[in-house]
Structure 1
């Protein structure tokens, strides 16, 4: 009986080690999906097809990588908020044009859509360090523009884009007016426990210090849970409760961590929202929630927001 238990323990240990080894070895392919199966890296459509007023923008990240973006305006002289939009993981910015078209109409805003390195027409290969540089390049470009109100730049990130946007907002509190997160995960390590359930017993947040140890081996940890409480800007959390990819508990944990240090946090959930369709499932309530958040927190005078102390749940 003892030998049987020993073999079972060894088998479990080997299985865990193999799982972690695979996670480390193939992490970029697991974390980033610029080209989903059956699709191509090129853009299937452009904003012109939707008759949107847009500009092709080419940027250089701080490490020299050439990046592509679309800057889409509601109309040429629109001085409303400018949304710096960071997309979900799979696919490219062209796959988000339909929701951006509605965003323009519902929010009366401009939208800057960045292709991360390795995505769409951008050069390079995705990594956390690289994408962080890309996001900074996009924000720096917007700050230098004279055709928008630079005091009304709002970072909007979905899923992976929420992790990207959180880092950018933390690093640029004086350049960003507000942050919107939708269906964002707490960290890549926590998501590993979702994709490979047996790993959660070894790398979950209930295992003391495990995430910190493994972060040394994970090249793209995207630990939003460790960033969110450092952001003092107004934050809107949009959560689809039927999210089949990122458990909705991740958004609840992010909100709980953020509100400990930031009273300007709003959490809105959508009972039928899934990972990719919360904006559809939420209907008018989804857009009204964002409209109200922008009206209350993005007035065009960044300084006027600093004394607000309102929490809504």
Structure 2
């Protein structure tokens, strides 16, 4: 079982969030996925934007509610938080094919839901969630509704990650036999991409993110976070400002800024 996956799941109301829905979404293979749909301010200029959020290996969606709240505060958009199978209150056991099906289920739900069917979507993935997001965007970008991809501290592939993190490989124990070939998929993505890299990451060596950035042929931005480790990058200066600026640039009339260089 993933670390902390089945612990109590905090609810949005515990963080002062009032306009939200707690959802249970069925998958085509019979699992039931827990999710939160959190609305930004109604009538806001970004109320037609939804961030589809994929979290990392540890914990559950409830532990990422402070991040969702910050995104809403900075951008005024909506956030859809998906719980993978085997995590939180979702049924099933996690594996690569299952987590990808979960991600597709979430995207299809937003596309078919009346309230969000015309929304511009931004896929946001942290660590393992970045690998989930890369695979999802690579397959679905031709529909035109995915405006951007935000990646934080993700890896080239699971097989390339494991030799770097033993003994911390226990962090990804259940997923060690999976592939998650992000390095072979990233070059096929044409959707604008923001790369947020914690340069003190002790789980995913920062060169993984840098190589993904270099392999990407999409309009892209490199945002290094000098003091950020694997779990603290979100508190680094400029983290949410970078996401806000990026989403404004990919969903509005402004052109993507030129890629930043080290």
Q: Which has the larger radius of gyration?
A: 1
Q: Unpaired runs of 5+ in structure 2?
A: 168-175
Q: Distance in 2 between matches of 1:56 and 1:138?
A: 14
Superimposed CA distance per residue, residues 58-113 of structure 1 (whole angstroms, 9 cap, x where no aligned partner) = 11112121111000112355524210000011011111111111111012111100
Q: Given that residues 159 and 182 in structure 1 are in contact (C-alpha distance below 8 angstroms), is that contact kept between their aligned partners in structure 2? A: yes
TM-score of the pair, normalised by structure 1: 0.74
Aligned counterparts, 1:112-123, within 5 A: 112-123=80-91
1:166 corresponds in structure 2 to 134
What's 1:209 paired with? none
Classify 1:294/1:309 alpha carbon distance in 2 versus 1 (closer, same or farther; 3 Å).
Answer: closer
Name the CA distance, whole Å, in 2 between partners of 1:139 and 1:80.
Answer: 15
Q: CA offsets, 1:90-148, max 9 Å, x none?
A: 01111111111111101211110000000011000000000100000001111122223
* Residue from 149, 157, 164 that aligns with 1:194: 164
State which drifts further: 136-145 or 67-76.
67-76
Equivalent residue for 2:12, pick from 21, 41, 47: 47
Is 1:66 the equivalent of 2:32?
yes
Say if 1:63 and 1:149 are closer, same or farther in 2 by CA, change over 3 A.
closer
Residue 97 (structure 1) aligned with residue 65 (structure 2): yes
In structure 1, what is the equivalent of residue 229 of structure 2? 274
Deviation at 1:177, TM superposition (A): 1.2
Distance in 1, matches of 2:75 and 2:221, equals 18
CA contact (8 A) 1:86 1:114 kept: yes
Q: Which ranges in structure 1 are unaligned for 5 or more consecutive residues?
A: 1-28, 198-217
User: What is the correspondence of 1:6-85 to structure 2 with a 5 Å cutoff?
Assistant: 33-35=2-4, 40-43=6-9, 45-52=10-17, 53-76=19-42, 79-85=47-53
Q: Secondary structure at the match of 2:52?
A: strand
Q: Deviations over 1:147-170 (max 9, x none)?
A: 237341000000000000000000
Matched, 1:290 2:259: no
Q: Is the 8 A contact 2:48 2:118 kept in 1?
A: no
2:130 is paired with a residue of what secondary structure? Answer: helix
Q: Distance in 1 between matches of 2:160 and 2:154?
A: 12
Q: Is the 8 A contact 2:220 2:259 kept in 1?
A: yes
SS in 2 for 1:249: helix
- Per-residue CA deviation, residues 261-307 of structure 1 (Å, 9 max, x unaligned), is 32x0111101111111111022xx2222112211211128xxx98xx
SS of the residue corresponding to residue 97 of structure 2 reads: helix
Cα drift, residue 34 of structure 1: 4.6
Give distance in 1, aligned partners of 2:75 and 2:3.
28
Number of positions where the alignment pairs a residue of Structure 1 with one of Structure 2 = 249
Query: Could you tell me which residue of structure 2 aligns to residue 231 of structure 1?
Result: 189
TM-score by length of 2: 0.88
